[in-house]
Amino acid sequence: MTDHSPGAATPTHEVFQDPDLCRAMYRSMLRIRRFEEVIADCVEAGEIIGPAHLYIGQEAVAVGVCSALRTDDYIFGAHRSHGHYLAKGGDMRKLAAEIFGRATGCSLGRGGSMHVIAKEVGLLGTSALVSGGFGPGVGTALASRLQGVDRVTVIFFGDGAMEEGIFFEAVNFAALRKLPVIFACENNLYSSHLPLLDRQPVDTLYQHAAVYQIPSLRIDGNAVGLVYETAAEAVRRARAGEGPTFIEALTYRWRGHVGPNLDIDKGLRSREELDAWMGRCPIQSLSSMMPPQCAWAPGERERVDQEVEDEVIDAIDFARTSPRPHPSELLQHVYSN
């Protein structure tokens, strides 16, 4: 077991020796942040009907992990997975259209915010079911082993998913068969509206996986360099046939459980707690830690920021002008033909 949580000693990140990777991760986190901020505005304006679980504040986990993966590696997400979709290379236009319920969406407008897919880049689906990714994720890892390919599967899930029985079944089976799977727990301290210690007697979740004799680590999930390095080692182990890894990434969602509100008015968390975590913004942390060799050229960061802004505006405009699914297609993709 290893603890690189915010209170533990943090190693020097090799990622900061690679200027291209540093800047790519900055762009990727900013794409997620700005996209979701605009989605939040659209929800408040009543343009989006249905729930939208926002990933704002947790960007370093998806970006750090997905930056260590190949395009053909698989990932599974949960109900808060816009960030996973974008970090793995999903099309922003298709994601926006899906959230708007349009036929041009990645799930043809049938899934909405919680049911997105991008098979072309290895995202095989997200599920509104808590712990819904464990079964399919371990299944694809087993398939990779049986096919003799070195493809890796990552299952992203929240702290609440570890209170479901299938979590233990999945970890046990993966450990027993030494499957090429990474369990990426995004511990944002709340399951819906319940704090972690109101649900479990201890908050060191990585220790639950350690009993299965697999590498189990707790890290600062807002430090994208540390997330990347931890994921890269887990990927190396998986490809080498050394079995699964469990990563508990400590992070925090800035918005409420669902929708754009902050949930402060509900008495569930304090303004002080939220401000403290916002002060540890993963995007700003990356920018402040970049060494001289990774520094932006004059005007380069401003150019990247504007390109991201333009991409987000284009995606939202595409969603707004896309058609809704036609009622005549209601039963398509429901029953086998």
Task: Please tell me the distance from the alpha carbon of residue 4 to that of residue 272, in angstroms, as a whole number.
Answer: 24
Convert the pLDDT of each residue in 113-145 to its tens digit: 999 999 999 999 999 888 899 999 999 999 999
Whole-number mean pLDDT of the chain? 90
Residue ranges of domains in the chain? 2-190+206-317
- CATH entry 3.40.50.970 includes domain 2-190+206-317: yes
Confidence label for 2 from pLDDT (cuts 50, 70 and 90): low
The pLDDT assigned to 160 comes to 84
Q: How confident is the model at residue 198 (pLDDT cuts 50, 70, 90)?
A: low
Residues 138, 133: Cα–Cα separation, whole Å? 8
pLDDT of residue 12: 47
Tell me, what's the pLDDT at 1? 58
Residue with tokens 């998913």: 161
pLDDT tens per residue across span 278-318: 999 999 989 887 777 777 888 999 999 999 999 999 999 99
74-77 and 190-191: which strand pairing?
A: unpaired
| Residue 8, pLDDT score | 43
The DSSP secondary-structure symbol of 336 reads -
Given a cut of 60, is residue 56 above it in pLDDT? yes
pLDDT single digits (tens) 208-251: 899 999 999 999 999 999 999 999 999 999 999 999 999 999 99
Which is more confidently placed, 76 or 15? Answer: 76
Report DSSP letters for 218-242, one per residue. Answer: EEETT-HHHHHHHHHHHHHHHHTT-
pLDDT, position 13: 60
Residue type, 35: F
Checking if the pLDDT of 171 tops 50, the result is: yes
